Amino acid sequence: KQEVTQIPAALSVPEGENLVLNCSFTDSAIYNLQWFRQDPGKGLTSLLLIQSSQREQTSGRLNASLDKSSGRSTLYIAASQPGDSATYLCAVRPLEEYGNKLVFGAGTILRVKS
Amino acid sequence: EAEVAQSPRYKITEKSQAVAFWCDPISGHATLYWYRQILGQGPELLVQFQDESVVDDSQLPKDRFSAERLKGVDSTLKIQPAELGDSAMYLCASSLRTRAGEQYFGPGTRLTVT
């Protein structure tokens, strides 16, 4: 059974700092990996999608990498801002014959202090 | 920009009552998902539809939960009777038919059972 772990569970940084969020998964047989942002009491906003054949994806100040063989992904946020404060969720799409579900980690709660 | 719509956004109900949630996916998305997110955890899949057919409902508590997508477009998730442990965020997502496609999430319905 695929399991996803995110470290750290919570992170507090001063504005302007570069930071890294970590995600690990137990089974390397995946279609893709997605990073999401969730504001308190809200739905999920997709940030980046990395297909299993890709090594990284970039969008603005965000860069996500994928090392499928070691079961790891990182989300790098450059020059953090108070507006980046949210919960960041990592999810993998396991290779299965049927279904298309995402398996999520519990998330990293990020607070960027001004 | 097309979005997944959900209603209601918030629902408070008493234990043993019936409750229903509605989801309208992005136009053209054949695949629809219902996830449940307990506070402090990542979302977990309850049921997945491909058009009007159920693809995966292995984690759906079928003694009290039901889901339908009669015309292959919008969907309803019902709980009867509601229990205290059902308090959670219920998220709907949709994707194109391709198995590696990105999933787009709605704003969610926050359910509180008293």
pLDDT in tens, B52-81: 999 899 999 999 999 999 888 999 999 999
**Does B30 contact A at CB distance below 8 Å?**
no
Return the pLDDT at B98. 65
Radius of gyration of chain B (CA): 13
Q: Which two structure tokens, joined as six digits, stand for B104? A: 């787009």
Asked if residues A86 and A113 have their Cβ atoms less than 8 Å apart, the reply is no
Q: Which residues of A touch B48 (CB under 8 A)?
A: 99-101
Among A6, A28, A29, A15, which residue's Cα sits nearest to residue A87? Answer: A6
**How close, in Å, is residue B30 to chain A by CA atoms?**
12
Nearest to A101 among B41, B56, B104 (CB): B56
- SS3 assignment, position B86: helix
For A33-76, the pLDDT digits (tens) are 999 999 998 899 999 999 999 999 999 999 999 999 999 999 99
**How close, in Å, is residue A100 to chain B by CA atoms?**
6
